Amino acid sequence: MRRHLNTIYVTSENAWLRKDGANIVIEVNGAERGRVPMHLVEGVVSFGRPGASPALMEACAQAGIALSFLSPQGKFLARVEGPRTGNVLLRRAQYRAADNPQIAVPVVRGIVTAKAANQRTVLQRALRDHGDTMPSASRSALEQAENHLGYVARRAALISDLDTLRGHEGDAAKLYFSAFDGMIQRNRDVFSFQGRSRRPPLDRVNALLSFLYAMLGHDCRSALEGVGLDPQVGLFHADRPGRASLALDLMEELRPVMADRMALSLVNRGQVQASDFLIDEGGAVSLTEDGRKTVLVAWQERKKRVLRHPFLGETMPLGLVPHIQALLLSRHLRGDLDGYPPFLWK
């Protein structure tokens, strides 16, 4: 079983990363602020502008440590990669699958079914935890969305057309987010949610979701590269220059589990406040540096939570799930598994 290693998140905008022996060193304004042995690290995500030394980038590439640079708002900027070491036969199988609906559709069907089922579980848990104190309108909206998502999950399992599956996924997402505001139980005056807005987020909940999706995307891309798959060529998301389509595929079934539920917990437990967000003159909303730190600490803690994998029947940290799903997908594409078993949260 793969070890769950650490991901370093550097949130100071004026941080500089360098290599010292076998260590990653973080400096701010010339003063050392942190030092971590490289063998304990699987990824580095930097929100700083200055960047990293060439020596560190080379060392990370050779060691297979994912080094990603994001803007202070969480927008992906760049990623350092070393020579590709993936199995060329596996990648050729992946490319053939992407061009063959008979292979791609069963995988996509599982992804869409699992996403709708996991979205339904988020709603069910909200009803279980807060249903008695919800306004009747909110409770009714959640119950209706929960029932319909169950239907969407069952219906998706029977569809054999890729475009129809994409349409069902879009319908499920619209329905799910239409009920999302009802799951917010605290500080509703500043954490209202009226639907997904991106590029840029236009409210605090959307800013929080987008930031968590960026973190999940980093983990999914690293997981795919770790098993030798090409993150750029997806089965569900169409190819587009600069887009890691397969990483987006892998994210779909994990968004409700790892990101959406966490966003709700951060708001409902009061771990994030209105002061943790900035609103610019154009209305775009982003996390402050302190806000990012709060979310990233909670993100790392959530990834340590132990659960039982529904297909393998083994207990593992939640942070390992993207790596396990990437491994299962690679085994299916190689022909070692008859089908791709998506992750169903229970």
What is the length of the chain?
346
Q: Which residue has the higher pLDDT, 71 or 273?
A: 273
CATH 1.20.120.920 in the chain, residues? 88-334
pLDDT digits (tens, 9 = 90+) for 126-135: 888 777 777 7
Q: Is the pLDDT of residue 333 over 90?
A: yes
Pick the CATH number of 88-334 from 3.30.70.260, 2.60.40.10, 1.10.3720.10, 1.20.120.920: 1.20.120.920
**Which pLDDT value is given to residue 216?**
92
- Taken in order 104, 109, 115, 118, is the CA torsion positive or negative? negative
Is the Cα torsion angle 154, 184, 130, 261 positive or negative in sign? positive
Distance CA 235, CA 107 (A): 8
Please say if the pLDDT value at position 227 is more than 70.
Answer: yes
Tell me: pLDDT of 153 over 80: no
Tell me the backbone φ, ψ of residue 233, rounded to 5 degrees: -105, 105
Q: What span, in angstroms and rounded, lies between the C-alpha atoms of 94 and 96? A: 5
Task: Supply φ then ψ for residue 89, to 5 degrees.
Answer: -70, -35
What was the pLDDT predicted at 1?
Answer: 45
How big is the chain by its Cα radius of gyration, in Å? 20
CA angle in degrees (0–180, nearest 5) for 223-115-287: 70
N- to C-terminal Cα distance for the chain? 22
* pLDDT value at 156 more than 80: no
What CATH number should be reported for the domain whose range is 6-80? 3.100.10.20
**Average pLDDT score over residue span 129-148:** 79
CA–CA distance, 179 with 146 (Å, rounded to integer):
9
Strands (E), 50-198: 51-52, 66-70, 76-80
For 301-330, write each residue's pLDDT tens digit.
888 888 998 888 888 888 888 888 998 999
Per-residue b/e over 164-199, b at no fewer than 16 CB within 10 Å? ebbebbebbbebbbebbbbbbbeeeeebebeebbee
Over range 332-337, report the average pLDDT.
90
Q: Is the model's pLDDT at 8 over the cut of 80?
A: no
Give the confidence band of 341 by pLDDT, cuts at 50, 70, 90.
very high
Helix (H) or strand (E) holding 270: none
**Where in the chain are all domains bearing CATH 3.100.10.20?**
6-80
The mean pLDDT value for 185-193 works out to 84
Name the pLDDT band for 74 (thresholds 50, 70, 90): low
Non-local CB neighbours of 89 within 8 Å, separated by 6+ positions: 334
How many other β-carbons are positioned within 10 Å of the β-carbon of residue 242? 6
Structure confidence at residue 84 as a pLDDT band (50, 70, 90): low
